């Protein structure tokens, strides 16, 4: 830095900080950046401090979400019809976030068996038990046991055990559940026709694949992970199975037969959601699953439901059951302890306080809470709860039913294979969505934004007109808004003034580096390292390259740590005359950032809801610096930083170009496919699924949001983040669009013989060319 500029910057610092600048003994460069305050935080891990604040912030936003739900609920209880109309939008919203959106197959029940496993499972003096399967979705059937009374049924009931229990146990055909808690058998003894489905268990996935075994995924998580990315959910699939059973009951008995659902623990969750979605269910008994849901993010991961807490706690879901009949039983549940979430019997006060939040509707039946003396848990399936449930269905309780013990007549029972088939079918359904997703995304974005592009893919004409890039960019604005709010998530809170604080952290003969901290929200700040070349001239404004580290990285990793992945690209670019800024992103600390994203999911946000806001504040601040050209700020990131390149610049148009290194992929395949060796389904990265992203935005669609700005991919042939064929296929779609819009010179891909690292050759040329800065 020349003497005149050093004097100028020092004077700015004097004015801004009301004191003489602190100058290092061996340098005339100020110890903090002029125009800022001194960063006087202790020399601690700013990464941990940022993470702590972000967790505090999202927990505050979760609490605010509960208080703000009223804006979604405008209940009209003047009549049943008026009430149903007033909650219809919320019912549809719940259906969508559960992923219970696919049209169900026509009702069909199959009784099946062979010589060793007969269709007739058991028979008593009062009922027969049949093994059955029924159609749910194309390629998906439900399996279970159907109990048919020998006398006309008093009601039809779907009975749902906890996830790790079998239909046989719930009917007393196999050990594992105490007789008093076999509520499916007890309802059969009361004259109900009862259907007991098989559920996906919480047991570890049955696989010989060592890589998948190392992730310790339960069967429910296995379906959850892949389904979540495709806008589906293991909960939604099982709700569909319940509703398909209701379809069949109605087909057989018509509308006059009362229909109910009863469930315990995981089955209680499904019973509550099923009744909330389907007004044909006349009464529901929810056992062991009803309480405050404010810490749903701490429950098992397969209960992660996108945006749930913005509109719904259990009381709000209960209001979707009203004015029909709801019985809640406070019962004990099995304790689940897992590094991705745990669960135990709810506290009585949590159950009671949530029950009190259920709306009181004049003239409509009130829900019932079955709870023991002193708040003790009872049941599951206590006599008091079952009696109340049956009475709500209009059936009398028989205090002395015939209690024949059913005996399984099958010689060869294979519940393990039955369960394996249940998991396999759901996986196959999700994978069919993965295979179909490219066509769905084309229809969703590309052809919707500019319909005439659809015809070009099949055109045989020799010449084609160039389509106006401005028109495509204008049409893409709505998709950018949807990408930010519905895919990445957005916190509706204004930024704080940045209050920049800085301190010098490194210096060479050619540049000076400063830690920079900027306030974003009260608990959240942005942090990064600004690198200023010393040959800046007074009044000169230069382009900036934002250099982004990857997973578990720190800003200095990109600057001067001599790490082979980064190759000091932030300092190398500074030595070429660029100003560089290396932000810290929150994906450090392994599961701490995953839990942050998990919490955020409950209020329709993700890890990138924080990161986008931090980068927005960084860009605003950079634009105020007298030596920065705010129109020439580029982004270049590796690995998770490359993932950032696909999510932040497409949203923040202040970034004039983006370079994705070591990450560009067929993202849907990468995240949700179960047959690919590089898929995240086979790794610990359980935060990678983003709700419904596979049906809306893959990397081509994210890149479309860059139009007309320059976009580049840097790809090492040996990078195990993906395959060259995946990368080439997805990038070809981007190159094709840019060409149709007359922008072919604004995008390129560079392959190099290397791995997961910054190559820094073609990308550096790309930066010099598009930032209009002379190469050395």
Q: Collapse the DSSP code of 712 into the 3-class scheme (helix H, G, I; strand E, B; otherwise coil) and give the result.
A: strand
Closest by Cα among 699, 752, 743 to 724: 752
Distance CA 110, CA 720 (A): 46
d(CA 431, CA 691): 16
Query: Distance (Å, rounded) from C-alpha 702 to C-alpha 602?
Result: 24
| Residue 21 binned pLDDT confidence (cut-offs 50, 70, 90) | very low
Instruction: Provide the pLDDT for residue 338.
Output: 83
- How many whole angstroms from its chain centre is CA 180? 39
Q: Which two tokens stand for residue 8?
A: 């100028």
Residue 769 has pLDDT above 50, yes or no: yes
The pairing of strands 542-548 and 628-638 is parallel
CB–CB of 157/261 below 8 Å? yes
Q: What is the pLDDT of residue 11?
A: 36
pLDDT, tens digit, 9 for 90 and up, residues 621-647: 999 999 999 999 999 999 999 999 999
What 3-state class would DSSP assign to 613? Answer: helix
Q: What is the mean pLDDT of residues 520-533?
A: 98
Q: What is the pLDDT of residues 406-440, one digit of tens each?
A: 999 998 888 999 999 999 999 999 999 999 999 99
What's the pLDDT tens digit per position in 675-697?
998 899 999 888 999 999 999 99
Instruction: Give 240's pLDDT tier (boundaries 50, 70, 90).
Output: very high
CB count within 10 Å of CB 216 equals 13
CA distance 615 to 164: 45
Read off the pLDDT of residues 551-604 as tens digits, 9 standing for 90 and up. Answer: 999 999 999 999 999 999 999 999 999 999 999 999 999 899 999 999 999 999
Contact status, residue 333 vs residue 344, Cβ threshold 8 Å: yes
Residue 9 is predicted with a pLDDT of 40
pLDDT confidence bin for 2, thresholds 50/70/90: very low
What's the pLDDT tens digit per position in 708-752?
999 999 999 999 999 999 999 999 999 999 999 999 999 999 999
Amino acid 309: pLDDT = 98
Find the Cα–Cα–Cα–Cα dihedral 48, 302, 673, 95, rounded to 10°.
-120
Strand partners, 714: 661, 750
**Integer Cα distance of 324 and 623 in angstroms:** 58
Structural contact between residues 557 and 549, judged by C-beta atoms closer than 8 angstroms: yes
Give residue 28's pLDDT: 66
d(CA 35, CA 23): 15
Report pLDDT digits (tens) over 165-222: 999 999 999 999 999 999 999 999 999 999 999 999 999 998 888 888 888 999 999 9
Q: Is the peptide bond before 174 cis (omega within 30 degrees of 0)?
A: no
Residue 646's Cβ-count burial label (10 Å; 0-12, 13-18, 19+) is buried
Mean pLDDT (the chain, rounded): 93
Q: What is the mean pLDDT of residues 33-43?
A: 91
SS3 136: strand
Per-residue tokens: 32: 């903090």
Tell me, what's the pLDDT at 461? 59
Sign of CA dihedral 444, 445, 447, 451: positive
108 pLDDT more than 80: yes
The owner of tokens 């469930």 is 263
Q: pLDDT for 496-518, tens place per residue? A: 999 999 999 999 999 999 999 99
Collapsed DSSP state (helix, strand, coil) of residue 707: coil
At 354-374, the pLDDT tens digits run 999 999 999 899 999 999 999
Q: What is the distance between the alpha carbons of residues 486 and 484, in angstroms, rounded to a whole number?
A: 6
8 pLDDT band (50/70/90 cuts)? very low
Element (H, E) at 325: strand 325-329
The residue ranges of DSSP E strands in 510-566, in sequence order, are 511-521, 524-533, 542-548
Q: How far apart are CA 655 and CA 240, in angstroms?
A: 44
Q: What is the mean pLDDT of residues 392-399?
A: 95
Span of 109-118, 283-292, 566-575 with lowest mean pLDDT: 109-118
What confidence tier does 459 reach under pLDDT thresholds 50, 70, 90?
A: low
* pLDDT confidence band for 16 (50 / 70 / 90): very low
pLDDT at 307: 98
Cα 357-363-367 angle, rounded to 5 deg: 40
pLDDT bracket for residue 532 (50, 70, 90):
very high
Confidence category of residue 457, pLDDT binned at 50, 70, 90: low
User: Mean pLDDT over residues 267-282, rounded?
Assistant: 98
pLDDT of 10 above 70:
no
**What would the mean pLDDT of 152-172 be, rounded to a whole number?**
98
Residues 6+ apart with CB under 8 A from 615: 526, 546, 583, 648, 652
Answer for the pair 348, 375: CB distance below 8 angstroms, yes or no. yes
Q: Which residues contact 745 (CB under 8 A, 6 or more apart)?
A: none
Q: Is pLDDT of 24 > 80? A: no
What is the end-to-end Cα distance of the chain in Å, rounded? 18
């Amino acid at each position: 830095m020349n003497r005149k500029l050093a004097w100028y910057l020092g004077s700015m610092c004097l004015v801004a900080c009301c004191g003489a600048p602190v100058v290092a003994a061996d340098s005339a460069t100020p110890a903090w950046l002029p125009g800022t305050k001194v960063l006087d935080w202790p020399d601690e891990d700013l990464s941990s401090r940022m993470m702590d604040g972000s967790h505090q912030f999202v927990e505050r936003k979760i609490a605010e979400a509960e208080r703000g739900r009223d804006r979604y609920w405008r209940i009209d209880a003047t009549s049943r019809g008026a009430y149903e109309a007033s909650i219809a939008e919320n019912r549809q919203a719940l259906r969508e976030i559960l992923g219970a959106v696919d049209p169900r197959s026509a009702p069909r029940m199959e009784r099946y068996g062979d010589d060793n496993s007969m269709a007739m499972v058991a028979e008593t003096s009062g009922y027969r038990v049949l093994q059955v399967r029924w159609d749910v979705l194309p390629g998906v059937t439900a399996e279970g046991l159907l109990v048919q009374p020998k006398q006309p049924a008093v009601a039809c009931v779907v009975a749902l055990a906890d996830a790790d229990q079998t239909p046989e146990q719930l009917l007393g055909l196999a050990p594992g559940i105490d007789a008093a808690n076999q509520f499916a058998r007890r309802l059969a003894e009361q004259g109900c026709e009862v259907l007991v489905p098989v559920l996906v268990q919480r047991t570890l996935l049955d696989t010989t694949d060592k890589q998948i075994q190392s992730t310790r995924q339960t069967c429910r998580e296995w379906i959850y992970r892949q389904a979540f990315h495709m806008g589906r959910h293991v909960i939604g699939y099982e709700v569909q199975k319940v509703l398909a059973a209701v379809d069949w009951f109605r087909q057989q008995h018509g509308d006059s037969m009362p229909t109910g659902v009863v469930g315990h623990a995981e089955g209680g969750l499904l019973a509550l959601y099923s009744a909330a979605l389907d007004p044909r269910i006349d009464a529901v008994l929810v056992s062991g699953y009803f309480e405050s849901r404010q810490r749903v993010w701490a429950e098992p991961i397969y209960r992660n439901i996108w945006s749930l807490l913005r509109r719904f706690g259990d009381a709000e879901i209960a209001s979707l059951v009203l004015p029909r009949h709801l019985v809640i039983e406070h019962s004990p549940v099995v304790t689940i302890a897992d590094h991705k979430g745990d669960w135990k019997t709810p506290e009585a006060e949590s159950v009671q306080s949530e029950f009190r939040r259920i709306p009181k509707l004049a003239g409509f039946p009130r829900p019932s809470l079955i709870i023991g003396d002193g708040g003790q848990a009872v049941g599951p399936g206590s006599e008091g709860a079952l009696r109340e449930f049956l009475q709500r269905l209009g059936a009398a309780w028989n205090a002395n039913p015939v209690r024949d013990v059913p005996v399984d007549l099958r010689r060869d029972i294979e519940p393990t294979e039955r369960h394996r088939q249940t998991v396999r079918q759901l996986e196959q359904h999700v994978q069919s969505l993965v295979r179909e997703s490219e066509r769905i995304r084309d229809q969703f974005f590309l052809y919707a934004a500019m319909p005439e592009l659809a015809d070009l893919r099949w055109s045989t004409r020799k010449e084609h007109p160039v389509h106006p890039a401005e028109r495509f960019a204008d049409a893409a604005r709505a998709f950018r808004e949807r990408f930010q709010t519905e895919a990445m998530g957005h916190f509706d809170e204004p930024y704080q003034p940045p209050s920049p604080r800085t301190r010098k952290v490194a210096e060479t003969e050619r540049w000076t580096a400063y830690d920079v901290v900027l306030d974003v929200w009260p608990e959240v700040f942005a942090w990064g390292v600004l690198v200023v070349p010393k040959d800046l001239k007074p009044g000169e404004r230069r382009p900036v390259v934002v250099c982004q580290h990857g997973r578990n990285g720190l800003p200095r990793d990109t600057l001067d740590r001599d790490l082979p992945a980064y190759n000091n690209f932030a300092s190398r670019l500074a030595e070429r005359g660029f100003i560089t800024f290396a932000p810290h992103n929150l994906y450090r600390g392994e599961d701490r950032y995953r839990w942050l994203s998990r919490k955020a999911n409950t209020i329709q946000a993700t890890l990138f809801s924080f990161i986008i806001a931090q980068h927005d504040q960084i860009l605003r601040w950079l634009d105020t610096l007298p030596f920065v050209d705010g129109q020439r700020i580029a982004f270049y990131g590796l690995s998770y930083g490359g993932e950032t390149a696909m999510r932040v610049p497409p949203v923040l148009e202040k970034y004039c170009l983006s370079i994705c290194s070591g990450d560009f992929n067929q993202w849907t395949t990468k995240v949700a496919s179960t047959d690919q060796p590089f898929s995240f389904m086979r790794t610990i990265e359980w935060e990678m699924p983003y709700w419904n992203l596979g049906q809306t935005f893959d990397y081509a669609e994210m890149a479309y949001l860059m139009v007309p700005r320059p976009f580049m991919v840097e790809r090492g042939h040996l990078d195990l983040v993906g395959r060259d064929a995946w990368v080439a296929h997805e990038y070809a779609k981007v190159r094709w669009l840019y060409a149709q819009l007359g922008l072919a010179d604004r995008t390129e891909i560079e392959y190099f013989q290397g791995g997961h690292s910054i190559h820094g050759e073609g990308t550096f040329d790309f930066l010099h060319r598009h930032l209009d800065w002379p190469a050395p």
